[in-house]
Structure 1
């Protein structure tokens, strides 16, 4: 048995949502350990709590969502009480999430290039003109034709596959 701490350890996690004056439990007693290099798939029916669990790990629950119990540890750090500015630094740099529906996760009011550039700058990878150049380079890397032009478009102007 390995004594190495999991990269991600969720223990006794419970999440509830405020509806009026009461809290309605959405998930309870979730336990998951993920080791370095391990791939884990969470499978379940619609409404079973897969997305809620992922949102709790990233601390991106809707405004009425609250973690009511449990622990979420990433690389030895407790995330449930980590300040928001520390979570911002961690999201995308240490923890990533590939959304099931990119159209509901891209900001429809921001150009695609601005959204990619914002992530690069928040994590200190680039600034200014270097950000714009890197955005185009990244779009080209994933096969987006006319990347420089596409960077100035809104998500609805991209096909589903491009999003």
Structure 2
């Protein structure tokens, strides 16, 4: 279990066999045939299918479905960047981010290419956003006016500039 306290991750679920404040059914803790690992796996599957996010950040209230996701989130508060680039001074909070840095900055490997204009990128998601230039898709809609944007960031800027008091 995570510990509670200022700046530390907090798990909303109680001990596996003590019941659930979230209303998610518990596994059979009295069973002689199942072990704790099986019970935890069953609990995680139940939580995932129920959309529960039992792990909460004590700093900002961020919630996560998995303890590992909360651990990564906590790095936004601590500033920890454990993944270091061997080729420069860059460091990252996650290995995938470091891998993307190395591919983009040091190897030049950009495997995703736009069939329309030849634009190349390291990440598939970046190519998906790029494709909106060609399709003119603007999936992010303002709920207060008729503004729409290609990226959520642009919608957030619009709302902050036009619809805040």
Q: TM-score, normalised by structure 2?
A: 0.29
Larger Rg: 2
Structure ranking higher in helix proportion: 2
Structure ranking higher in strand proportion: 1
Q: TM-score, normalised by structure 1?
A: 0.30
Higher relative CO (Cα under 8 Å, sequence separation at least 6) belongs to: 1
